[in-house]
Amino acid sequence: MPNFISIKKKIKSFNKNINVDGDKSLSIRWVLFSSIASGVSEAKNLLMSEDVLASINVIKKLGIKVTKNNEYCKIYGKGINGFRYKDNLTLNAKNSGTLGRLILGLIVNTPKKIKLIGDRSLSKRDFKRVALPLSKFGAKFKLNKKFGLPLTIKGSQNLKSIRYNETRGSAQCKSSVIFAGMRTNGKTLIKAKKSRNHTELLCKHLKLPIKIKNKKNFDLIEINKIKNIKQIKYNIPSDISSAAFFIALTALSNKSKILIKKVNVNPSRIGVITILKKMGINIFFKNKNTYKGEAIADIIVKSPKKIKSINCPTYLNSGAIDEFLVIFLVAAKAHGVSYFRNLSELNKKESPRLFWASKILKKIGIKTITTNDSIKIFGNPKLKVNKKIIIKNFLKDHRIFMCCTIAALSFGGNWKIHDKDSIKTSFPSFLKIISNLRK
Ligand code: S3P
């Protein structure tokens, strides 16, 4: 099978109900929490993507038994101190920043040196951002000079609790410090710029000693030593970051409608919905409920008559951080100029996404003014693409691949998009759902 797709035709109008794959952030967190729980944890609808499989392999290397079939995954946790730290252990986080950064917090007490490696894309990502706070707890790091990986960590049995000011709005840094804070004798205090709060919600659900004060622009989190985590039964809801591709496709199509079932619509994740609604897209929630602290709903989207441009408020950035690529596509078809700023974090993802966004938009004939942390998009409501477009060498970034697929289906042209396999990292069913919509 070739590792690219060719798309030569725009999608026709559709009216469908779909399910997208399980939430990646929650899947990885379930694996990591279950690995230090006491007893057998069980998850349904766990995302079976490469990032989650890498998480499973990492905890297996730490001596934790895992079994899975098509329906369930079971993790046989051995308690807070149940990891087996062998000599010369190497853990491979592959493509996953979330796994790489969170696992360091969990193994901050390792008595033996552990090496952490990742793929080419992860090896270009910044690990100092977690090594710095974790070394304040007492762990010792050796980092590769440029970005961090490969790195080694040697933990401490005498961890000190810390005060940490998280200023990037990174849930990965915040969560890594929460994990480390669970292993100290004192109180760890975190002041964190707003970001997704799945780790905190799971801690609360598990009745762990965490206190959270939500302020307007930041959260104050206090975490204390944990003694025991009960096993966790979890039915993972669908991922809004995966749903976002189909929300955008519907927004860019004519007379189409989609219903995406049981999506995690945690308020810290729905920036994409707030932004697209401001741009005039019809999006509604149905069957809203709460599951283990997480908000769940079916999402309904209808094609709009007109897309409005937006001067995107920066407070929405962190809640939409993984969705900006598709938001930019919608802006490409808007009336007027859209402006997105304070987005330096976008260039620190699986590939430099702001750079790629401007490259893709240029290829489809859209003018942009792009800096290191901002992009102005000159929308064209009549946008049609008629030429051949080849997309490759994007560090196999799954979201670049899927964003280009949505662009091809929405704007037309003759596209060849390489590295199809990249979808396996986060959204293995992506192309199956596309085929179903094209039927
Ligand atoms: C994630 C946090 C975000 C996001 C990533 C998943 C998480 O990264 O981009 O895809 O699950 O905690 P940052 O925390 O670095 O912003």
Rg (CA), the chain: 21
CB-ligand 1 contact for 170 (6 Å cutoff): yes
Residue 177 has pLDDT above 90, yes or no: yes
Contacts of 294 (CB under 8 A, 6+ apart): 26, 198, 201, 237, 264, 266
Residue 198, classed as helix, strand or coil, is helix
Distance of CA 170 from the midpoint of ligand 1 (Å): 6
What local confidence, expressed as pLDDT, does residue 67 receive?
Answer: 98
* The amino acid at 149: L
Ligand 1 in contact with 27 (CB < 6 A)?
A: no
Q: How far is CA 92 from CA 95, 105, 108, 424, in A?
A: 9, 15, 16, 17
Q: Residue 299 has what pLDDT?
A: 98
Sequence letter at residue 381:
P
Place of tokens 């937006």: 310
Averaged pLDDT score across all residues of the chain: 97
Could you tell me which CATH number the domain at 24-227 has?
Answer: 3.65.10.10
pLDDT confidence tier of residue 179, bands split at 50, 70 and 90:
very high
Provide the pLDDT confidence category of residue 359 given band limits of 50, 70 and 90: very high
> How far, in Å, is the centroid of ligand 1 from the Cα of 141?
22
In the prediction, which pLDDT does 246 show? 98
How confident is the model at residue 268, as a pLDDT?
98
Q: How far is the CA of 414 from the centre of ligand 1 (A)?
A: 33
Q: Is 412 left (phi over 0), alpha (psi -120 to 50) or beta?
A: left
pLDDT at 225: 96
Rounded Cα–Cα distance for residues 227 and 244 (Å): 39
223, 12 Cβ separation under 8 angstroms: no
- Helix spans in 62-124 (H): 97-106
Distance CA 288, CA 129 (A): 36
| Portion of the chain with pLDDT greater than 70, in percent | 100
Longest distance between any two alpha carbons in the chain, whole Å = 64
Residue 267's CB: how many other CB atoms inside 10 A? 12
Question: How far is Cα 284 from Cα 397, in angstroms, rounded to an integer?
Answer: 30
Coil/strand/helix, residue 252:
helix
Lowest mean pLDDT among 140-149, 331-340, 391-400: 140-149
CATH topology agreement for domains 4-20+237-437 and 24-227:
yes
* pLDDT higher than 90, residue 439: no
pLDDT of residue 184: 96
Is 418 close to ligand 1, i.e. is its CB under 6 Å away?
no
Between the CA of 378 and the centroid of ligand 1 the distance, in Å, is 28
Does ligand 1 lie within 6 Å of residue 55's CB atom? Answer: no
- Residues 310-319 have a mean pLDDT of 97
- What local confidence, expressed as pLDDT, does residue 110 receive? 98
Task: Give, for ligand 1, the residue of 52, 122, 196, 348 to mutate: max count of ligand atoms closer than 8 Å to Cβ.
Answer: 196
Rounded (10°) CA dihedral 102, 108, 114, 117:
20
The topology (CATH level 3) of 4-20+237-437 is: UDP-n-acetylglucosamine1-carboxyvinyl-transferase; Chain (3.65.10)
Q: How confident is the model at residue 1 (pLDDT cuts 50, 70, 90)?
A: confident
Position in ligand 1 atom list of the atom nearest CA 168: 16
Q: How far apart (Å, rounded) are the C-alpha atoms in residues 382 and 289? A: 39
Q: Is 269 in the pocket of ligand 1 (CB under 6 A)?
A: no
pLDDT in tens, 45-86: 999 999 999 999 999 999 999 999 989 999 999 999 999 999
Q: Whose CA is nearest to atom 9 of ligand 1?
A: 322
pLDDT 10s digits, 220-240: 999 999 999 999 999 999 999
Q: Which residue has a Cα nearest atom 13 of ligand 1?
A: 170
| 295 vs 286: CA distance, rounded Å | 12
Sequence letter at residue 398? H
Average pLDDT over residues 102-117: 98
Nearest atom (ligand 1) to Cα of 241:
10
Q: Would you call 178 helix, strand, or coil by DSSP?
A: helix
Predicted model pTM: 0.97
Other CB atoms closer than 10 Å to residue 388's CB: what's the count? Answer: 11
Q: What is the mean pLDDT of residues 202-223?
A: 97
Q: What is the pLDDT of residue 145?
A: 86
The answer to whether the CB of 62 is under 6 A from ligand 1 is no
Distance of alpha carbon 398 from the chain centroid = 11
Q: How far is the CA of 370 from the centre of ligand 1 (A)?
A: 23
pLDDT recorded at residue 425: 97
Q: How confident is the model at residue 17 (pLDDT cuts 50, 70, 90)?
A: very high
Q: Torsion angle, CA of 325/327/331/334, rounded to 10 degrees?
A: 150
Amino acid (1-letter code) at residue 222:
E
Given this model, what pLDDT does residue 8 score?
A: 97
Closest to 260 (Cα-Cα) out of 297, 294, 303: 297
* Mean pLDDT within 14-21: 98
Confidence (pLDDT) at 157 = 87
**Cα torsion angle, 104, 105, 108, 109, sign:** negative
Q: Quote the CA–CA distance of 272 and 264 in Å, as a whole number.
A: 13
Pocket lining: 322 vs ligand 1, CB cutoff 6 Å: yes
DSSP 26-62: HHHHHHHHHHTSEEEEEEES---SHHHHHHHHHHHHT
Report pLDDT digits (tens) over 251-303: 999 999 999 999 999 999 999 999 999 999 999 999 999 999 999 999 999 99
Question: Which pLDDT belongs to residue 192?
Answer: 98
Q: Which positions are annotated as active-site residues?
A: 322
Is ligand 1 within 6 A of the CB of residue 264? no
Which residue among 23, 24, 25 has the greatest number of ligand 1 atoms within 8 angstroms of its CB, and so is best to mutate? 25
Write the single-letter amino acid at 256. S
In this prediction, residue 409 carries a pLDDT of 98
User: What is the token pair recorded at 250?
Assistant: 């519907």
Q: How far apart are CA 53 and CA 435, in angstroms?
A: 25
Q: 215 C-alpha to center of ligand 1: Å?
A: 21
Asked if 395 and 124 touch (Cβ cutoff 8 Å), the reply is: yes
SS3 call for 290: strand
Host H or E run for residue 131: helix 128-137
User: For the chain, which residues make up each domain, given as ranges?
Assistant: 4-20+237-437, 24-227
* Structure confidence at residue 147 (pLDDT): 84
Cβ–ligand 1 distance for 98 under 6 Å, the answer yes
**Spacing, Cα 182 to ligand 1 middle (Å):** 20
Please tell me the distance from the alpha carbon of residue 43 to that of residue 51, in angstroms, as a whole number.
16
**Cα 377–chain centre separation:** 24
Atom of ligand 1 nearest to the CA of 171: 14
DSSP state of 10: P
Å from CA of 211 to ligand 1 middle:
22
